[in-house]
Structure 1
Amino acid sequence: MNLTVMTYNIQHGHVHQSNPGRIDLKETASVIRDSGADLIGLNEVRGRGDHPDYTAQVEEMAAFLGFHCVFGRSIYVGGNNPYGNAVLSRWPISESKVFHIPDPAAELRISRFEHRSILRAAVDLPEGGQFAVFSSHFGLTPEEQRNAVVLASALTEAERLPFVLMGDFNVTPDDPVLDPLDERLTVTHPYLEGQLTHPSHAPDCRIDYIYASPSVTVNGARVLPSTASDHRPVVAELSF
């Protein structure tokens, strides 16, 4: 079966360049629609909360696209305002679970520290069987990133379905923290050489990733030149 997958840090749906500060989920969803992606992992997604800017963002995009979706909360912001990762799927999502990444020691936390998680969703494929999607947004410090890789490695090693692991990992491809993933999983790196993702208007690094299970073949990958968010999305063509 052939699949097109995408990872996209949507920056809460904020329009990054043309009108900074304005939330436009239709613009974000249009980037996804135009990519042709079947399965999408999203980061920096808001859920429905007390603040008027905290709406059910992934549900709104799913309605626009005619897709299925699931939201996975990592934290609450300013009271009862959920924030985390999400998955959009062309096909039904039969189960999902949030796995919480261990926090770093208190003395190693920076001012911008926030708790992180990995969302797993199991998608029912049209040809039968299932496919798992792991979507995550790693932390900003080395200890946070190591903790995230340890959990991601454990989850993917235990996974019995074909899968993708994707997200904004906040590290560049040459960082050895990624070695456990690079050594065991199918990578998209060879197709993305020289393609950068952040900041979208003038990218100087690639910190957004798509990995797949060893049973999955990567047939191509690319970074899309969108400035709707502060990250450019990454798309990969897979088969299994």
Structure 2
Amino acid sequence: MLSANIQAGSSTRRYSDYAMRSWSHVLPAGNKLRALDQIAELAGGHDIVGLQESDPGSWRSGFTNQTHYLAERGGFDYWTHQPNRRVANVASSANALLSRFEPIEVHDHPLPGRVRGRGLLLARFGEGDAGLTIAVAHLSLGAQSRRAQLSYIAELLQQYPNAVLMGDFNCTPDRPEMEILYRSTSLQPPSCQVHTFPSWRPQRAIDHVLVTSSLACDNMRAMPAALSDHLALSVELVIPEHALRTEG
């Protein structure tokens, strides 16, 4: 399993790039397809991939649906995305899911916050309560908005015993607002903090793969996602045999 904020294929190698290379976030330049090919190679070694900041098709991506592109290049039969934020037709951003397993249902949930444009993508695999639930999120920068978003996510996920919540949380797992998840759901704090940001000198653990107590994860490690400002987070997930089983 992999979670990656791909920054729409843009390049950031130092803090000054946020100002000096800001054009790459709105213009169809900077060799984004080469970056996507590198991300696809990384993603292809996993069974389920959650993406944040995948451009669903705007001017800056050359009107390429980056999720579809990555699915094809990475060899994934199933993909879905949740466009969240659009700046005219210049730039757009989405949460996305690539999978080698067919989900039985997918839901888009807009998240609350002071600024609109954040969301939760929720996919269900397998049948009934024993099935596997995968949720992909990109939370806000502000603690107050994150608190509201985590409360909403906790309400959605508390009914699922086999669940994974992955994404860019923009906060470390020991922040006070994260306690909402741990108190209200079966999601567990990570056993270790893997630093993923900034990618050129990782100092903060703000990208997470959280699992419920019924699941187990191993070999969590950070991996470069092309030239994104985040490292991707890779993990091996141990799930009950029946969690992906479907009838028929």
- TM-score, normalised to structure 2's length? 0.79
Q: Which residue matches 1:169?
A: 169
Deviation of the 1:123 alpha carbon: 3.5
Structure 2: give runs of 5+ residues left out of the alignment: 25-29, 240-248
- 1: CA distance between counterparts of 2:189 and 2:48? 16
Match in the other structure for 1:107: none
State which drifts further: 221-230 or 199-208: 221-230
**DSSP 3-state at the match of 2:71:** helix
Contact 1:77/1:83 (CA < 8 Å) preserved in 2?
no
Measure, in 2, the Cα distance between the counterparts of 1:213 and 1:189. Answer: 10
Q: Give the direction of change, closer, same or farther, for the CA distance of 1:158–1:16 in structure 2 (3 Å limit).
A: same
- Aligned with 1:150: secondary structure? helix
Partner of 1:187: 188
Whether the 8 Å CA contact 2:39–2:225 is kept in 1: the answer is no
Structure 1 Cα separation of the partners of residues 214 and 176 of structure 2: 24
Q: Report the Cα distance in structure 1 between the residues aligned to 2:82 and 2:60, rounded to whole angstroms.
A: 18
Distance in 1 between residues matched to 2:88 and 2:197, nearest whole Å: 27
| Partner in structure 2 of residue 157 of structure 1 | 158
Select which of 98, 113, 118 maps to 1:116: 118
Q: How does 1:67-216 map to 2 (within 5 A)?
A: 67=76, 68-79=78-89, 82-104=92-114, 113-123=115-125, 130-159=131-160, 162-183=162-183, 184-187=185-188, 189-190=190-191, 192-193=192-193, 195-216=194-215
Which residue of structure 1 aligns with residue 68 of structure 2?
Answer: 59
Offset, 1:185:
3.3
- Take 2:145 and 2:37, find their aligned partners in 1: how far apart are those partners? 32
Matched residue count: 220
CA-CA distance at 1:53 after TM superposition = 2.9
Give how far 1:218 is off: 2.2
TM-score (norm 1): 0.81
Post-superposition shift, 1:228?
2.9
Structure 1 residues 82 and 73, CA gap change in structure 2 (3 angstroms): same
Distance 2:12 2:43 in 1: 16
Task: Report the Cα distance in structure 1 between the residues aligned to 2:10 and 2:61, rounded to whole angstroms.
Answer: 14
Report what 2:3 is aligned to.
7
Tell me if the contact between 2:39 and 2:226 (Cα under 8 Å) persists in the aligned partners: no
Structure 1 Cα separation of the partners of residues 225 and 87 of structure 2 = 27
| CA deviation profile, 1:172-197 (whole Å, cap 9, x unmatched) | 2331110122344343622x34x310
Identity between Structure 1 and Structure 2 (%)? 26
Secondary structure in structure 2 of the residue aligned to 1:209? strand
Q: Secondary structure at the match of 1:159?
A: coil
Distance (whole Å) between structure 2 residues aligned to residue 50 and residue 227 of structure 1: 21
**Structure 2 CA distance for partners of 1:124 and 1:77, relative to 1, 3 Å:** farther
Contact 1:187 1:218 in 2 (8 A): no
Whichever residue aligns with residue 233 of structure 1, its letter is A
Q: CA deviation at 1:82?
A: 4.1
- Distance in 2, matches of 1:200 and 1:189, equals 20
Partners of 2:113 and 2:180 in 1: CA distance: 20
8 A contact 1:200–1:227 mirrored in 2: no
C-alpha change, 1:94 and 1:77, in structure 2 (3 Å) is farther
CA distance in 1, matches of 2:227, 2:90: 27
Partner in structure 2 of residue 108 of structure 1 = none
Offset at 1:229?
A: 1.4
Q: Does residue 248 of structure 2 align to residue 238 of structure 1?
A: no
Q: Alignment partner of 2:203: what SS?
A: coil
